[in-house]
Amino acid sequence: MSESGTPGRYNRSVDGLVAALVITVVAVLAWVVFRALTSQDEEIERDAVDYLETVQLAQDADVEIAYPPTLPEGWKATNVTIVPGERPAFGLSILTDAGTFVGVRQEDEALDELLATYVDEEPDNISEEDALSVDSPIATSWEGYSDEGGDLAYAAELGEEQLLVYGSASRADLTLLIELLTTEPLTP
């Protein structure tokens, strides 16, 4: 308390408040700039998954899956999914040695829906490319698709299911994977 019996107060002004806010904003911006200049983007390394184990389990349950029995040098599978049931589905995510993405998707779904889900959400952005002719036990002719962002996709029928190979990888890498695909049973 002050000598006059009233509580002590300091002068408050709008100018003082604005000055404090400006100092705070400048300090935050300086910290952001400092961090941007001194930190490096960390590359997140994805672990490889053993997709052949999942393929083996599916084959043991009498589900026919198109899969690559091996991957090219430097490529790695990063995710594998299987949906069991009346309408099973199989998905495999792969990174090439160049770090580009290749996906394999097999399911009993309309091709338009698969393209909209895995290639481009806007079906109007997908254009049909020339068919791809490959030496593959799955299919020798594959329908080709691309979107405005440069993603490619190739589709073929496997029985009553659609098989889609897609991604940001080059046409050569997608073709290489298509040539590797098989439905042959794995040996334990």
| Domain CATH code at residue 142 | 3.40.1000
137: helix, coil or strand?
Answer: coil
Domain membership flag for residue 61:
yes
Give me the mean pLDDT over the 77-105 stretch. 92
Query: Count of domains in the chain?
Result: 1
Alpha-helical regions (H) of 72-126: 111-118
Residue-wise pLDDT tens digits, 120-138: 887 566 677 777 888 888 8
- Strands ordered across the beta sheet of 76-83: 76-83, 89-95, 101-107, 161-167, 152-158, 141-146, 127-133
Domain membership flag for residue 75:
yes
Domain membership flag for residue 187:
no
Domain membership flag for residue 96:
yes
Q: State residue 126's pLDDT score.
A: 66
**What does pTM read for this prediction?**
0.74
Does residue 2 carry a pLDDT above 60? no
Domain membership flag for residue 150:
yes
Domain membership flag for residue 176:
yes
Using left for φ > 0, alpha for ψ between -120 and 50, and beta otherwise, residue 99 falls in left
Domain membership flag for residue 20:
no
- Percent of the chain clearing pLDDT 70 (strictly above): 88
Helix, strand, coil abundance in the chain, percent, nearest 5: 30, 25, 45
- Expressed as residue numbers, the domain containing 109 is 51-180
